[in-house]
Amino acid sequence: MDSEFYLTSNNNDKTLPLTEEQFKELKRARKRLSLVHAVSHKYHLVLSNYRIIEQQMAQLGELYASQYNVADIEKRKPQLNASINNYVLSARIFTSQLKRHIQSCLPTERERITELSEQMDRLYQRSFAYRFVDAMYDYVTYYGLSFHAFHCQSKIVLDEEGSPLRQFDFKAYIEREYIGGPADFRASVLEETPERIDVLQLLAEFNGCLGELHTNAMKMVRAVLSEADSMVREFMNVFIGQYGAQHANIFVVHKTRAFGDKVYERFPLSMYLDNRLLTGTSHDD
């Protein structure tokens, strides 16, 4: 089979030939980079959904404090519900694929996957929030409902000059009696569920659990990540050295005569060096 391998700029204007060996190495490196980024992106999906929930809670809290714009309240309640649903779904996207991604990055290190499994088990044993959000996935996918009640309190505090000042506190709750069960919810979790759960507090604790998983997973792939990163960077530098930085958006192409001289495979390369900048996930928060 006659195959041709090369690097190309975005507009196919400039090309640089590759050997089959180099092509395979780049393909493996690209796979690893994309998987590691996928783990990070999914972690930040969860954190970003949490931020959105916080913002929506603050807005709803203000609306309930003034009770002025009822139409706005009715509009924002379903939006908050949607955000909490999204949070729960994104949490499952992260936890359900974490092991698969790490396994694909480290195909020969099965003991790493065992280690991750054990860590997830430990989190499940240790944290009620981890168990509850895990069980909540079935509930929200079935009912599309992710909270049941609001609680808006205000108290008076005295400021520095002794003048009274009103402070509001706004919370969203999941109530055990509204979950129903045990058929509607994982029985073992329902049994230990308190009468009501403060949603933001629950999700903040869950964020902490995912943070531990994410940190550990990143530690496992650090070596292959840096190896893949520097190899791709090396090829990019050669390409840029030859054609200039304006052609830095590079793709890898595999052409074969067996398909009528068509492009058999084409994948982006430089985006995996840059996409942390794009999505702002270069710093853990």
Partner 1 sequence: MTKQKKPLQLPIEYESNDIISINYRHFSLWLREDLLTPLSGVVTEIEFEWSDSAKQDNFNSHLDSIAHYALEIMDSINGTLRAENCKIIYCEVNKFACSVSLVAPLPQVVYQGLQSMPCPERFALPQMTNHDVSATEFVADRRKKCNPKIA
- At 149, is the secondary structure helix, strand, or coil? strand
Sequence-ordered alpha helix ranges (H) in 127-245: 128-143, 176-179, 187-192, 199-243
Q: Please, what is the minimum distance in Å from the beta carbon of residue 158 to partner 1?
A: 9
Region binding partner 1 by CB under 8 A among candidate stretches 32-40, 152-160, 199-207, 231-239: 152-160
- Of 153, 183, 241, 246, the residue at the interface with partner 1 (CB under 8 A) is 153
Taking residues 156 to 185 in sequence order and writing x for each that binds partner 1 by CB under 8 A, - otherwise, the string is x-------x-x------x-x--x-------
- At 284, is the secondary structure helix, strand, or coil? coil
- Of 114, 124, 149, 223, the residue at the interface with partner 1 (CB under 8 A) is 149
- Of 111, 160, 161, 195, the residue at the interface with partner 1 (CB under 8 A) is 195
User: Scanning the structure block, which residue is given the tokens 């929506």?
Assistant: 56
Region binding partner 1 by CB under 8 A among candidate stretches 26-34, 78-86, 110-118, 150-158: 150-158
Interaction of residue 72 with partner 1, rule CB under 8 A: no
Give one word for 162, left, alpha or beta, with left for phi > 0 and alpha for psi -120 to 50.
left
Q: Nearer Cβ to partner 1, position 57 or 252?
A: 57
Q: Which of residues 49-68 bind partner 1 (CB under 8 A)?
A: 64-68
Distance of CA 252 to the CA centre of its chain: 27
Kindly determine how many residues on this chain lie close enough to bind partner 1 according to the rule CB under 8 A.
25
- At 180, is the secondary structure helix, strand, or coil? coil
Q: Tokens representing 260? A: 């009528």
Task: Give dist(CA 65, CA 251) in Å, integer.
Answer: 54
Provide φ and ψ at 127, rounded to 5°: -110, 125
Q: Please, what is the minimum distance in Å from the beta carbon of residue 273 to partner 1?
A: 49
Q: What letter would DSSP give residue 67? A: T
* Site for partner 1, rule CB under 8 A: 64-68, 70-71, 73-74, 148-156, 164, 166, 173, 175, 178, 195-196
